[in-house]
Structure 1
Amino acid sequence: MKPLAPSDPVGAVTALWLLPLLIGGCLAAVLVYKAAHGIAAAPWRALILIGYSLVGALLTDLIAGPGIGAYSNSHFWPLLPCFWLVTSAVALAAAALQAVVGRMGTLLVAVLFIVVGGPPAGGLGTYLLPVYWRNIGVVLPPQNAVTLINHVLYFGGSDITTPLVVLLVYAAVGTAVIGWYGRIRPAREAARAGDREGDAAASANSAVNPGGRRRPLTGILVALGVCAVMQCLFATTYMSAEHAPKATDLPFGAVGSSPVLTAAEKSISLKVTRYQDEAAAKSAIDRAELFGALVTSGTTTTLIVVPSISDLAPLDLAVRFEAAAKATGTKLTVQQYAPTPLAAKDPFGLVQGLMLLPLIIGGYMASTLLMAATGRAAGRWRAAQLAGFAVMSGLIVDLIVCYWLQGFPSEKFWIVWPICSLIVAVIAFVAAILQKLFGPIGTLLTVVLMVQLGNPSSGGASGVPYLPAFWRDIGPYLPPRNGYLLLHRSIYFDGHGTGQALTTLLIYLGVAAAVLIVLDLRRSEAEVPTDATEAAAMAVPIGASP
């Protein structure tokens, strides 16, 4: 009744929009706070964030719509105020938290809007969420943002009163709190002290601008420029990689001859390999070489789909081959086959893709926090400290996903632990090198390399054949894809097809460790003036993916 557009065939656009809008709002509040030397309550801050939100919303809209073509141009203007409201609500609420609790507000913003607010956003539908996540999400901006954008994009703007009210309340309360702490409260305190009107104004200005310093306009503009670049990059990378997944040379097996295969190839790009019998085709599936197979024997035609190799391919293949069977007048049977079935609590094979992001974030956050805690991006034992963290964090992630969430079979626990630790160590070592060479800006470079380029090019749960050509080509050279393949095939395909991924990660690990040790021993540097709380909070917003 409401068919999806060819530019958005799986309805992924709504969830992909949320990432740049949330990160744009959070990061703007954090960077302006830092650029203003920790002045969280200046009355002009609300105006700056509202203005930036409009610019960020416009850039995101231009990139996703006319730029990438993720939706028709007729949706450009209806979506622009939605994007503006979402970014403003997040930025103003974040700034208000910083005004109330100071530096800890930065960390609180990341936890509340990204760590807690991201999972219940409901990009795939709020009623597919567990009840507790659904109830939490109702009162937070991310879920209301998804609902607002979804209903405007797909349903003509119907039933958007609740998300509009919630987001407007966040924006209004945030503005009021900033105004209270920035002007009204200092003025009242000065008046109660009995100062003259001029002294009260000076006192209020001093509260806004400690030490009589000029408002750091240049620093704020630079910070907002960095924020705009990061927001645009997130909008570009994730949207271009995932908004319209389409198979290219999907590995596929064929046994016997059938007109169904010829007809299906008109609507889906397959890389067909012929096999002598069904057992040979299933053996290739066991080795993670095929995403499906068509077996023709006499009057029987069976399509074998593999739910553990891709969340999208089984449905995609079934739809294409059923249409082909109908067109050719052939009776088709669809059969599921997987060497290791998906876990009961992960029926779509999403766990490995979801595991990858916290491993990436944990890696570069470990290096960032170590730099912040020591005040230097160097240290004789830095590599050993990061390696120890990788071992422990890999164990914790493995325990949570395997035993608490039951996301994969428990017999895979011992092989998953070293893989998780390897991924964390590689990311941490690369981040440490970049931070050693470029200082705190190395964290941003790590995010660009591993999160903005590496994560979209990993292929995720859908699989590498569903990526556009650019993302397919760069993925093999970056740790995220190799980490994902190593995790996925170790869990569901008994380690088949992991040689190249494992070798690549080990090369990264060995080279990065050697370079890091040499840099730490031979180079000296000035102290890095970064507070640990701020470093942690900045690392989460620019790396999290709801």
Structure 2
Amino acid sequence: MTSRPPRASSAAGGRSAAVRTAVALGLVLFAQAMLALSLVSAQQLLVPRNMPFGVVGPPSPVVAAVASRTGLALTAYPDTSAVTGAAEQGELYGAYVSGGSSDTLIVVPAKSFFGQTEVEPAFLAAAHDLGRPVTVQTIAPLAATDPVGAVTSLLLLPLLIGGYLAAVLVYKAAHGTAAAPWRAVILAGYALVGAVLTDLIAGLGIGAYSSSHFWPLLPCFWLVTSAVALAAAALQAMVGRMGTLLVAVLFIVIGGPPAGGLGTYLLPVYWRNIGVLLPPQSAVTLINHVLYFGGSDISTPLVVLFLYAFAGTAVIAWYGRIRPARAAAREAHGAAPAAPAAAPPDRRRGLIPILVALGVCAVMQCLFATNYMSASHAPKATDLPFGTVGTSPVLAAAEQAISLKVTPYPDEAAAKTAMDQARIFGALVSTGTSNTLIVVPSMSDLAPLDLAVRFEAAAKATGQTLTVQQYAPTPLAPKDPFGLVQGLMLVPLLIGGYMSSTLLMAATGRAAGRWRAAQLAGFALVSGLLIDVIVCYWLQGFPSGKFWITWPICALIVAVVAFVAAILQKLLGPVGTLVTVVVIVLFGNPSSGGASGVPYLPAFWRDIGPWLPPRNGYLLLHRTIYFDGHGTGQALTTLLVYLGVAAAVLIVLDLRRPEAAVPVDATEAASMAVPIGATP
């Protein structure tokens, strides 16, 4: 009879552990689904939608032809001076001036580089068809250090993550006290430090923008980080531990994708309207207009960000000082017997954990600023694989402007076979009297435009004729015209991998266990299926014929990251999660190459990418979907080696390295894991 209670207790404990495990993994699946849905739906189809565009002069058939198939919101201006002034203040994405012997197309690259690439060719083609001569005038050109307008989005990453992590880590360091009389001061103080560090790294260090912008941008950075940090602390004060998750969902999972770094009016309308209410979009507008438009038209983003900062400060003050003071006053009037005075807390001892937490946050913010900015702010091709058929002076002239790794082919069919196998990004076919540049849009979102611009200039310089032709072995999906989806869906796969291991550690109190490898593998299968269903069928991000082959690839990526995280957590405890984030997200993700392609990465990032899971995961996804699996052997082998070695090491460590319970709660683990890598 004495043996039954222990068995019952053991069974109850087993059921409780199973419930905690199921809840933890369910939370990860929910976070992955939300992130995949938000990222892909917001950014997979970036085309003009009610884009502000100015017109001057009598009604033009050119404008009518373009407006009929492009989402432009036309506004008439009385003269060229008025429309130019509006463009210089960042109010317009472009303008068309008609009348007289020729027309003028005004483009504003700093407002949106990708918006320009949509609008300019459409107007030039329509003007050519209608026989209207047109000249192009550029207002607010992008800097040479920011050729595709990526700097604004890249600046948002460290500012957003820094503010969020500051609130989360200070909350944990203060043992769950979200509001205190000094909390707002500490967070605002850290925001200033983080702003200075980001400004120094991105501007003076990396040179992503000129040093003359250091001081104008500094208060902007301070305001953005303060708004996020103070609002996050306020939500923590109101709803406790779940406030950190709420902030992650509002500011990063939902707020990040519609930030509009590539152009607010390229976003779906509902995402643009959601973004208006949250700090990231206001932050992007503020930084962009200070950087390129002299600080004009920034009243709305300033109001939004100050409202978040002031509201956060007010809530912190209420919960940290005003409400406790009122409670103390009520107790004093109640004539209750005075309790013995407690010993005053040692503020110096309480301050040390907070300073350590902010130090960790500063390091993470610096890494985000350094890694993502250095990898992506100025993409420039190096040894871009390229084919040639025949000889032409155009190729030699183009190579003066773009670095190519040229391979000759006997005929056009052979060159297209190389494109089918993802070995070259394009080819020049010369017959002696004509030249045809063939580009492959499914290989890169940037290379086709880059090649076309360089070769058209070369053809003009050499007096040759040139025709540009697109070729895609598997056409891009209608809702993925720029080949962005694989890079976007990679983010929730990576985050789901280390979140699953982290939350299992939190739920069970141990970094590994007898069934940990099996649990992670099972989760990877379910997770991969979930992301596959959302992106393929719900969002139509890639052809449905690739659904079944994409599922095991998604599961493999999740499993590799989860197993690596489990090993690091086994060896290092909760710090292993932080190390995983640094390796996978802060070094792996920037080195993946993404939609632009590996040749557009700087040398350091090109060299480390093959050794890390994100590059191999992206190539495996992308080339399986759009190139029938060609060129995936190395990527697949690398991921399988990671998986096999990690599984073996995890099992050996669990058998030979007994461990004590790890005191980590699920909220802390999730708050650390959810936002990192959710790049806007």
**TM (normalized to structure 2)?**
0.78
Name the CA shift for 1:159/1:450 in 2 (closer, same or farther; >3 Å). Answer: same
Which of 515, 540, 558 is matched with 1:406 structurally? 540
C-alpha separation in 2, matches of 1:90 and 1:459? 29
**Is 1:9 paired with 2:143?**
no
Superposed displacement of residue 525, structure 1: 1.7
Name the CA shift for 1:299/1:542 in 2 (closer, same or farther; >3 Å). Answer: same
Q: Does the 8 Å contact 1:288/1:496 carry over to 2?
A: yes
Which residue matches 2:230? 92
Superposed displacement of residue 194, structure 1: 2.7
Partner letter of residue 303 of structure 1?
L
Give the aligned CA root-mean-square deviation in angstroms: 1.7
C-alpha separation in 1, matches of 2:459 and 2:224? 46
C-alpha separation in 2, matches of 1:427 and 1:216? 35
Name the CA shift for 1:317/1:37 in 2 (closer, same or farther; >3 Å). Answer: same
Which of 556, 570, 580 is matched with 1:422 structurally? 556
1:155-208 deviations in Å (ceiling 9; x for gaps): 1111000000000000000000000000100111121223599999999xx8xx
Which of 388, 401, 421 is matched with 1:287 structurally? 421
Which residue matches 2:389? 255
Superposed displacement of residue 358, structure 1: 0.7
**Is 1:27 paired with 2:27?**
no
How many residue pairs get aligned? The number is: 541
Which of 256, 279, 282 is matched with 1:141 structurally? 279
**Is 1:226 paired with 2:360?**
yes
Q: Does the 8 Å contact 2:255/2:280 carry over to 1?
A: yes
C-alpha separation in 2, matches of 1:223 and 1:403? 42
**Is 1:44 paired with 2:178?**
no
Name the CA shift for 1:275/1:148 in 2 (closer, same or farther; >3 Å). Answer: same
Name the CA shift for 1:219/1:303 in 2 (closer, same or farther; >3 Å). Answer: same
C-alpha separation in 2, matches of 1:177 and 1:488? 46
C-alpha separation in 2, matches of 1:500 and 1:5? 37
**Is 1:447 paired with 2:581?**
yes
Which residue matches 2:670? 536
Structure 1 residues 488-499: aligned runs within 5 Å:
488-499=622-633
Q: Does the 8 Å contact 2:388/2:415 carry over to 1?
A: yes
Q: Does the 8 Å contact 1:107/1:534 carry over to 2?
A: no
Q: Does the 8 Å contact 2:375/2:602 carry over to 1?
A: yes
Structure 1 residues 40-189: aligned runs within 5 Å:
40-189=178-327
Which of 375, 394, 400 is matched with 2:509 structurally? 375
1:77-117 deviations in Å (ceiling 9; x for gaps): 10000000000000000000000000010111111111011
C-alpha separation in 1, matches of 2:434 and 2:382? 27
Q: Does the 8 Å contact 1:187/1:200 carry over to 2?
A: no
Q: Does the 8 Å contact 2:392/2:432 carry over to 1?
A: no
Which residue matches 2:496? 362
1:200-220 deviations in Å (ceiling 9; x for gaps): 9999xx8xx9x9564610000
Which of 321, 328, 342 is matched with 1:190 structurally? 328
Q: 3-state DSSP class of the match of 1:273?
A: strand
Superposed displacement of residue 531, structure 1: 1.2
Which residue matches 1:266? 400
C-alpha separation in 2, matches of 1:78 and 1:304? 44
Which residue matches 2:77? none
Which residue matches 1:337? 471
1:53-93 deviations in Å (ceiling 9; x for gaps): 00000000000001000000001110000000000000000
**Is 1:324 paired with 2:458?**
yes
Name the CA shift for 1:147/1:202 in 2 (closer, same or farther; >3 Å). Answer: farther
Q: Does the 8 Å contact 2:389/2:428 carry over to 1?
A: yes
C-alpha separation in 1, matches of 2:302 and 2:586? 30
TM superposition outliers: structure 1 runs of 4+ over 4 Å: 195-203, 211-215
Q: 3-state DSSP class of the match of 1:232?
A: helix
Name the CA shift for 1:200/1:511 in 2 (closer, same or farther; >3 Å). Answer: farther
1:458-493 deviations in Å (ceiling 9; x for gaps): 000000000000000000000100000000000000
Which residue matches 2:10? none
C-alpha separation in 2, matches of 1:448 and 1:342? 32
1:387-424 deviations in Å (ceiling 9; x for gaps): 00000000000000000110100000011000000000
Identity %: 83
Q: 3-state DSSP class of the match of 2:326?
A: helix
Q: 3-state DSSP class of the match of 1:315?
A: helix
Q: Does the 8 Å contact 1:247/1:466 carry over to 2?
A: yes
Superposed displacement of residue 543, structure 1: 3.2
Q: 3-state DSSP class of the match of 2:332?
A: coil
C-alpha separation in 2, matches of 1:59 and 1:199? 52
**TM (normalized to structure 1)?**
0.97
Superposed displacement of residue 538, structure 1: 1.3
Name the CA shift for 1:200/1:436 in 2 (closer, same or farther; >3 Å). Answer: farther
Superposed displacement of residue 521, structure 1: 1.8
Q: Does the 8 Å contact 2:391/2:432 carry over to 1?
A: no
Which of 556, 575, 592 is matched with 1:458 structurally? 592
C-alpha separation in 2, matches of 1:98 and 1:395? 33
Superposed displacement of residue 526, structure 1: 1.9
Which residue matches 2:36? none
Partner letter of residue 23 of structure 1?
I
C-alpha separation in 2, matches of 1:61 and 1:495? 42
Q: Does the 8 Å contact 2:495/2:677 carry over to 1?
A: yes
Which residue matches 2:370? 236
C-alpha separation in 2, matches of 1:201 and 1:61? 51
